[in-house]
Structure 1
Amino acid sequence: MTHWLLLLGAAVVMLAFLVVFLMLRLRLREQEDERLRQEVQRLRDDLGALCSGAVGVSERVARIEQKLQRVSERQEQMEFSTVESQPYDQAVELARKGATAEELVAHCGLTKGEADLVVMMHRMDVG
């Protein structure tokens, strides 16, 4: 009988150690779970901040692209008006030096009406 009591006592002690061991393991798992929950929350916060930042960058890029488009259009208009006005600038200069309408048509590519008008307006500057 004492033999059985000894075995029962040993089993109870082993069971107590097993319960303590399992409780410690459970506590460690709970701590690891909490650490992982905090890490997931931190990652969610970081992802939210990145998404917000990306939206801001996207809006900024869109505004810059719009400005660039407007600048390009203005540059094209300026280039077109410069190219378009070059024959007239040259014709005005020639008219001031006394060129005839026929000479303006020949050298500047103006129509007869344009050349007559330039001569009338700018020949008066001479005298």
Structure 2
Amino acid sequence: MNGIVITWVQLLYISLILILFYVAELLLFMRKASMHRGLGQNPQEMDKLRNEIAQLRFEMDALKLRLAASQTQWTSSSAELVMEGDQESPYSHAIRLAKLGADSNSVAHQCGISRGEADLIVALYRSSTQR
């Protein structure tokens, strides 16, 4: 007789493993069900969460408006600085030169800043135009 022979002890171990597997599945299923039931049973908690989400969305919209206003204000004030010319700081002058396409050697020489600072300014400008 050629075939697979399973002893009673092996059959008992296999049965025990299967039972443990099904018990683990049952516990996992019960845990998931209790988590879902916990969220759905308390409508007051759900209303509270909805109100918090609405409040956060309102605050986010307000922050977006403030950011847009500050960017507009910054753009107009930076334009005024470029127009003043004589009162322009070395760094804003370097940024303006980098935007015009100057290399870092000429930026450092014309603005009186270090080569490393000029390299950084030119690299930042080039990275912002490539996006």
TM-score by length of 2: 0.34
Which structure exhibits the higher relative contact order, with contacts defined as CA atoms closer than 8 Å and separated by 6 or more residues?
A: 1
Larger radius of gyration: 1
